[in-house]
């Protein structure tokens, strides 16, 4: 038995005799079901696909290619470490079914426009969601990583892979050959993204150009690419991309200014360390003065930068040099409002890295030591950077698309 519905803005709340409240919120970008006590929450995109749920204390995220992950926290000493584990269907089917049950029970009492989205959600069962894995692969190569402030971007893979692909610590793109797509292929890609994302587009806040160094595309073709993107997504006016030093320096400040005019806001550079010896060990091309020139040209062109450092890389052997040279490097870059410096705790995901450091006799770091170095780096960065430059954590494990 339940009490009458309470309506507050775009939220519809039902109170039962057992003092359980069930609310449905139809937002501009998503739909939520919230049940209290228990604070259980289900979030769907406006296409009706589950995005995530918080159920009986379990924080579960679903990706567009239909993988489900459980996010947890682990305490080691006084440090909290966030962990992520992929789930099998048996681990999340009950939780998903429970959200649908609430919707089935109350949907006829909701106003017409809310019923419409409720019906859409109910059209998706687990089989139909499973089919999304296959649909995703027709549109995208795996989306390996995005910067944390871009997790809600719409990815457009105008290139695939990494043009270099040889850094010993990185295996984000080892599964694919580098490829620059033709304008025709990009147009087709944009149309297939539209079909696939549908009303789910309302969750997306910006465009991110995939994959590792999309701006390597020759300038004329890049302008045509931006034009096509602006045409298909005129309401997603901010565009972001990774860039690397060795391809970035092929562009001039005028090139960057032209891209800024078409929406390019910030580019992200995996600098990893300021120490040249460590870069060489990692098989990452040395940056030297090219980085300064690239950052200067980007600034001249009106584009912000995100600089990424890897805490723990090079282990205890390189710790002092890595920290000192990285801080010195940042100090020389004249960063300003709009720029971000990310510190990412290194996870050893590439066996190549282990071989390289073992061969060089490098003494590794455990997770707590890596955390300590990350904290120290961030603290030192605070001393040298203007307040307007953000210093932030980049946890690659927390990325889901
Ligand atoms: S770190 Fe960047 S440049 Fe190096 S292989 Fe990975 S994606 Fe390519």
Q: Is 313 in the pocket of ligand 1 (CB under 6 A)?
A: no
Over its C-alpha atoms, the chain yields an Rg (Å, rounded) of 23
Q: Is 172 in the pocket of ligand 1 (CB under 6 A)?
A: yes
Q: Rounded CA gap, 263 and 215, in Å?
A: 13
Q: What is the pLDDT of residues 239-286, one digit of tens each?
A: 999 999 988 999 999 999 999 999 999 999 999 999 999 999 999 987
Q: Rounded CA gap, 26 and 23, in Å?
A: 10
To test the pocket of ligand 1, the residue of 144, 159, 160, 165 to mutate (highest count of ligand atoms within 8 Å of its CB) is 165
Instruction: Domains for the chain: give ranges and CATH numbers.
Output: 6-129 (no CATH), 140-398 (3.20.20.70)
To test the pocket of ligand 1, the residue of 160, 171, 172, 394 to mutate (highest count of ligand atoms within 8 Å of its CB) is 172
Give the model's pLDDT for residue 29: 96
* Closest C-alpha residue for ligand 1 atom 6: 170
Check: CB of residue 207 under 8 Å from CB of residue 233: yes
Distance 285 CA to ligand 1 centre (A): 10
Q: Is 164 in the pocket of ligand 1 (CB under 6 A)?
A: yes
Distance 199 CA to ligand 1 centre (A): 33
Ligand 1 atom closest to Cα of 169? 1
Q: Rounded CA gap, 23 and 174, in Å?
A: 45
Q: Rounded CA gap, 352 and 32, in Å?
A: 44
pLDDT band at 4 (very low <50, low <70, confident <90, very high): low
Arithmetic mean of pLDDT, 185-206: 98
Which pair of structure tokens corresponds to residue 330?
């940042």
DSSP string covering 95-126: HHHHHHHHHHHHGGGS-HHHHHHHHHHHH--H
Cα dist. 359→346, 352, 353, 355, 356 in Å?
19, 11, 10, 6, 5
Check: CB of residue 154 under 8 Å from CB of residue 194: no
Q: What is the pLDDT of residues 297-348, one digit of tens each?
A: 999 999 999 999 999 999 999 999 999 999 999 999 999 999 999 999 999 8
Arithmetic mean of pLDDT over the chain: 95
Q: Report which of 251, 267, 248, 272 is spatially closest to residue 167, judged by C-alpha positions.
A: 272
Arithmetic mean of pLDDT, 117-133: 96
What torsion, rounded to 10 degrees, do the Cα atoms 39, 40, 45, 50 define?
160
Q: Rounded CA gap, 302 and 217, in Å?
A: 19
Which pair of structure tokens corresponds to residue 351?
């066996």
Give the model's pLDDT for residue 3: 64
Q: Is 170 in the pocket of ligand 1 (CB under 6 A)?
A: yes
Distance of CA 397 to the CA centre of its chain: 10
Q: Is 242 in the pocket of ligand 1 (CB under 6 A)?
A: no
To test the pocket of ligand 1, the residue of 145, 157, 171, 173 to mutate (highest count of ligand atoms within 8 Å of its CB) is 173
Q: What is the pLDDT of residues 343-363, one digit of tens each?
A: 999 998 889 999 999 999 999
């Amino acid at each position: 038995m339940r009490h009458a519905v309470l309506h507050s803005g775009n939220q519809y709340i039902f109170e039962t005799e057992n003092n359980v409240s069930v609310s449905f919120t139809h937002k501009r970008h998503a739909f939520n079901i919230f049940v209290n006590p228990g604070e259980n929450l289900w979030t769907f995109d406006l296409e009706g696909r589950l995005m995530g749920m918080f159920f009986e204390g379990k924080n579960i995220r679903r990706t567009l290619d239909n993988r489900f992950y459980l996010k947890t926290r682990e305490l080691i000493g006084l440090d909290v470490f966030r962990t992520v584990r992929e789930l099998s269907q048996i681990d999340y089917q009950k939780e998903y079914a429970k959200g649908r049950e609430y919707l089935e029970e109350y949907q006829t009492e909701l106003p017409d426009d809310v019923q419409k989205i409720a019906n859409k959600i109910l059209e998706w069962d687990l089989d139909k969601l499973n089919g999304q894995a296959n649909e995703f692969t027709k549109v995208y190569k795996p989306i390996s990583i995005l910067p944390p402030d871009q997790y809600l971007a719409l990815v457009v893979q105008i290139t695939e892979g990494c043009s270099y692909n040889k850094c010993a610590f990185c295996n984000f793109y080892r599964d694919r050959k580098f490829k620059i797509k033709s304008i025709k292929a990009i147009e087709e890609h944009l149309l297939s993204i539209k079909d696939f994302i549908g009303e789910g587009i309302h969750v997306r806040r910006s465009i991110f150009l995939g994959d590792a160094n999309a701006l390597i595309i020759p300038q004329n073709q890049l302008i045509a690419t931006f034009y096509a993107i602006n045409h298909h997504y005129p309401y997603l006016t901010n565009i972001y991309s990774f860039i690397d030093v060795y391809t970035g320096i092929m562009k001039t400040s005028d090139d960057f200014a032209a891209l800024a005019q078409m929406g390019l806001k910030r580019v992200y550079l995996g600098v990893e360390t300021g120490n040249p010896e460590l870069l060489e060990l990692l098989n990452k091309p040395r940056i030297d003065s090219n980085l300064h020139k690239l950052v200067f040209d980007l600034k001249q062109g009106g584009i912000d930068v995100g600089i990424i450092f890897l805490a723990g890389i090079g282990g205890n052997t390189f710790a002092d040099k890595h920290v000192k040279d990285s801080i010195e490097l940042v100090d020389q870059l004249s960063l300003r409002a709009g720029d971000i410096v990310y510190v990412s705790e290194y996870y050893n995901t590439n066996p190549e890295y282990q071989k390289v450091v073992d061969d060089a006799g490098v003494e590794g770091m455990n997770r707590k030591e890596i955390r300590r170095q990350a904290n120290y780096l961030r603290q030192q960065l605070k001393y040298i950077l203007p307040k307007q430059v953000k210093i932030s954590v980049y946890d690659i494990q927390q990325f889901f698309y």
